[in-house]
Amino acid sequence: MFIPELSRRNKRSLMIATDTILVSLSLWLAFSLRFGIWYWPNKDQVWFFATASILALPIFIQFGFYKTVVRFMGNKAMLEIFKATGLLVLLWVLAIVTFLPFYLDIRITFPRFISSEIIFPRSIPILFWISLLLTVGGSRQIAKWILFRPNTKPTSKLIRNVLIYGAGNGGIELATSLSHDSEVNILGIIDDDKTLKDHFIQDLKVLGDRTEIEKIKSKTNPLEILLAMPSMKRNQRKELVKYLEDKEVSVRTMPSLNDLASGKAKIIDLQRIDISDLLGREEVAPNEKLLTACISGKIVLVTGAGGSIGSELCRQILPLKPSLIVLLDHAEHNLYSINLELTNLKETLNSDTKIVPVLGTITNKALVEATINEFKVNTIYHAAAYKHVALLENNIKGGVLNNIFGTYNVAKTAAQQNIDNFILISTDKAVRPTNIMGATKRITELIIQGLSLKLEAEREKKIKTTQFTIVRFGNVLGSSGSVIPLFQKQIENGGPVTITHPEVTRYFMTISEATQLVLQTGSIENDCNVFVLNMGEPVSILNLAKQMIYLSGHKLKTKNKEGDKSGIDIQFIGLQKGEKIHEELFNGEHFSATEHPMIMRSQEDFCSWEEVDKILAVLESSNNLDQNDLRKLLLDFSQKNNARN
């Protein structure tokens, strides 16, 4: 049909013209039904029809009749039709009995026919309203069913057989959106409410609970499960995803309620399963006092602001109402992106916070000093660092310059200018390091502790000094150095998925939870202790890879079946240089609780400033050292100063 191809403007014009005709037709039907004859109005009675049509247009526009997309029209739209037609009839009756007799010099009577008067039976308004509901409302339902009816027999060779999981509002909206996609064949709805089985929702049958999936899969392969429960709690979602992982079905999900509410995504924007659904947990409600103490009304500097952790810090800092956020990053594109994002977020929040991007590197001592001094910074979150283990193994001098001397520049300037708080973001790889990345991060921890010890004499004299804080945690989901994006890309390419060792484990935490805890850690009073985030239990990387393969709708390649080339293979490539099988979070066995249940305090011996100063002097003159000697120097010093307690 040609109507679906019309422009939106032409469709609206067609609907207005149709409604104008239908209003007059409805009134004619009302009179004809009342008198039991084919009713033909005289010249005075024509005004009844003209008045109805004139009143209808502004009322229908006000109730949004011409903004509703007919193919997605639901119960709310029908309720608006019910209210609008009722209002139209009411205003029409008022016009007929008050204004028309005055202007036309006619008399309207209600009870019975008098030849010299205009008859207006009391039942006409009711019949008129019923006729309007049938014609105006019915025409839209007919248009929805006929012009935009679902493609029940898709012809595309790329047809996807899908089950919608969830019979709530999300499932209904998703079913409506997908019903017009010729490449999707919706088999039905799955819901864990057993009382809904065999009921129909949007013409789709509720096939039963999750136990029905395997039966359907045996008859329909491949099969895709679309999760339509955006409000489901994380632990429930994790349990459901765990159930689905070995069913060899592809699993995708609707966007979160936050994304839907903010307009970032639409119902139809289906996403693959977020890895946080496998590894995440219910986040502990933040301690508002800890969350805001270092930020609200303060001037905050975030180094590495364009990176994965730095940018998330910025997103969470802005709503806490600092007076100014200074974004420091050496990557032009990343800095531009986070500045633009925060500017848009600022408008959404109607925030007064100023945002200043500074393009430069932390290795530029003059720039660091000028930035901290010019903006009178109160709090620094130091997230700038090189974090790719394999890359730093072959770029040791670059790692030393950025991670060690860059951090030293920022921390030393913070101490000299006596800012309130400096928070270093460290890593579990700094514990008994076996690689350059971990060694450089361990030395930065020692630098911060050494600077804090150096200021101890002033603190004893009750002189206010910078509070230095170190926060150590493992892998965060969604960070640039995470293994997750690599696995996803390998699965999309058909494999193989590469793992260094079958027994390798890692700690994981969502990036939002990690950054929220970092913000709170900075407000806990301490003497430059190392704070460790509660990462939960370590995760088997092999099991994680298997879960990701299963949930993408694939199966593992079975090597004992000859000729079977289907599925995705997992290959073990051996531990990389400096890589551990298991990471650690604590240097020793001594740790204590803090006022936050997810933040622990590690009891570790400090390294004196004299020792730190010595290693810095050696590293400053390390240009004459080759890669191997420099590597040995870093590892020896960082390991010697690890478990001294």
In the prediction, which pLDDT does 197 show?
87
pLDDT higher at 112 or 55: 55
Q: How would residue 644 be classed by pLDDT, with cut points 50, 70 and 90?
A: very low
In the prediction, which pLDDT does 336 show?
97
Q: How would residue 110 be classed by pLDDT, with cut points 50, 70 and 90?
A: very low
In the prediction, which pLDDT does 111 show?
46
How far, in Å, are 343, 470, 518 from residue 357 at the CA level? 11, 25, 22
In the prediction, which pLDDT does 606 show?
76
Pairing label, strands 467-473, 421-427: parallel
In the prediction, which pLDDT does 114 show?
38
Q: How would residue 282 be classed by pLDDT, with cut points 50, 70 and 90?
A: low
225-269 pLDDT, tens digit per residue, is 888 887 777 778 878 888 887 777 888 887 765 555 555 556 556
As a whole number of angstroms, the distance between CA 39 and CA 596 comes to 80
pLDDT higher at 478 or 289: 289
> Chain-wide mean pLDDT for the chain?
82
As a whole number of angstroms, the distance between CA 597 and CA 68 comes to 49
As a whole number of angstroms, the distance between CA 281 and CA 510 comes to 8
* Residue 482 tokens, joined: 């995470």
As a whole number of angstroms, the distance between CA 408 and CA 66 comes to 63
In the prediction, which pLDDT does 599 show?
87
As a whole number of angstroms, the distance between CA 293 and CA 369 comes to 24
What residue ranges do the domains of the chain occupy? 3-146, 160-273, 288-476+508-536+593-640
Cβ atoms 21, 49 nearer than 8 A: no
pLDDT of 219 higher than 90: no
Computed over its alpha carbons, how large is the radius of gyration of the chain?
34
Q: How would residue 455 be classed by pLDDT, with cut points 50, 70 and 90?
A: confident
pLDDT higher at 462 or 513: 513
CB-based contacts of 403, cutoff 8 Å, min separation 6: 385, 386, 437, 440, 441, 443, 444
* Residue 268 tokens, joined: 């139809």
* Residue 323 tokens, joined: 């007076």
Cβ atoms 271, 253 nearer than 8 A: yes
User: According to the 3-state scheme, what is the secondary structure of 100-140?
Assistant: HHHHHCCCEECCCCCCCCEECCCCHHHHHHHHHHHHHHHHH
pLDDT higher at 42 or 198: 198
Pairing label, strands 200-201, 204-208: antiparallel
In the prediction, which pLDDT does 116 show?
41
In this prediction, what percent of the chain has a pLDDT beyond 70? 82
Cβ atoms 289, 522 nearer than 8 A: no
As a whole number of angstroms, the distance between CA 411 and CA 414 comes to 5
In the prediction, which pLDDT does 333 show?
96
Q: How would residue 404 be classed by pLDDT, with cut points 50, 70 and 90?
A: very high
Total residues belonging to the chain: 645
In the prediction, which pLDDT does 414 show?
95
Residue 19: which of 52, 42, 47, 41 has the closest Cα?
Answer: 52
536-547 pLDDT, tens digit per residue, is 888 888 988 888
CB-based contacts of 275, cutoff 8 Å, min separation 6: 477, 484, 544, 548
Ordered DSSP codes for 382-411: E------HHHHHT-HHHHIIIIIIIHHHHH
* Residue 315 tokens, joined: 């997103």
pLDDT higher at 259 or 379: 379
In the prediction, which pLDDT does 118 show?
52
Phi-psi region of 316 (alpha: psi -120 to 50; beta: other; left: phi over 0): alpha
pLDDT of 417 higher than 80: yes
CATH value of 160-273 in 3.40.50.1000, 3.30.1330.10, 3.40.50.720, 3.30.1360.30: 3.40.50.720
Ordered DSSP codes for 274-309: PTHHHH--PPPPP-HHHHHHTTTTSEEEEETTTSHH
Most confident of 101-115, 150-164, 570-584: 570-584
Q: How would residue 513 be classed by pLDDT, with cut points 50, 70 and 90?
A: confident
pLDDT higher at 110 or 551: 551
For residue 427, the tally of other CB atoms under 10 A from its CB is 26
CA distance between the termini of the chain: 80
166-197 pLDDT, tens digit per residue, is 888 888 888 877 776 777 888 889 998 888 88
Q: How would residue 439 be classed by pLDDT, with cut points 50, 70 and 90?
A: very high
556-589 pLDDT, tens digit per residue, is 877 655 555 667 889 998 888 878 888 877 765 5
Q: How would residue 112 be classed by pLDDT, with cut points 50, 70 and 90?
A: very low
* Residue 365 tokens, joined: 């001592």
Residues facing residue 357 across a β-bridge = 327
pLDDT higher at 411 or 465: 411
Q: How large is the average pLDDT for residues 306-333?
A: 95
| Cα-to-chain-centroid distance, residue 220 | 32
In the prediction, which pLDDT does 515 show?
92
Cβ atoms 20, 56 nearer than 8 A: yes
CB-based contacts of 339, cutoff 8 Å, min separation 6: 327, 355, 357
In the prediction, which pLDDT does 314 show?
96
pLDDT higher at 563 or 484: 484
pLDDT of 18 higher than 90: no
Q: How large is the average pLDDT for residues 148-174?
A: 71
Q: How large is the average pLDDT for residues 451-456?
A: 83
* Residue 124 tokens, joined: 């006409």
Q: How would residue 337 be classed by pLDDT, with cut points 50, 70 and 90?
A: very high
Most confident of 443-447, 537-541, 628-632: 443-447
As a whole number of angstroms, the distance between CA 225 and CA 273 comes to 11
Cβ atoms 451, 527 nearer than 8 A: no
pLDDT of 371 higher than 90: yes
- What's the CATH number for 288-476+508-536+593-640? 3.40.50.720
In the prediction, which pLDDT does 499 show?
92
As a whole number of angstroms, the distance between CA 450 and CA 608 comes to 5
Q: How large is the average pLDDT for residues 406-418?
A: 95
Cβ atoms 88, 52 nearer than 8 A: yes
As a whole number of angstroms, the distance between CA 582 and CA 503 comes to 8
pLDDT of 308 higher than 70: yes
Query: Lowest mean pLDDT: which of 112-121, 322-331, 496-505, 636-645?
Result: 112-121
Residue 310: which of 397, 235, 410 has the closest Cα?
Answer: 410
Do 288-476+508-536+593-640 and 160-273 have the same topology in CATH? Answer: yes
Q: Where are the beta strands (DSSP E) in 191-339?
A: 200-201, 204-208, 224-227, 250-253, 271-272, 299-303, 324-329
Bond into 496 cis (ω within 30): yes
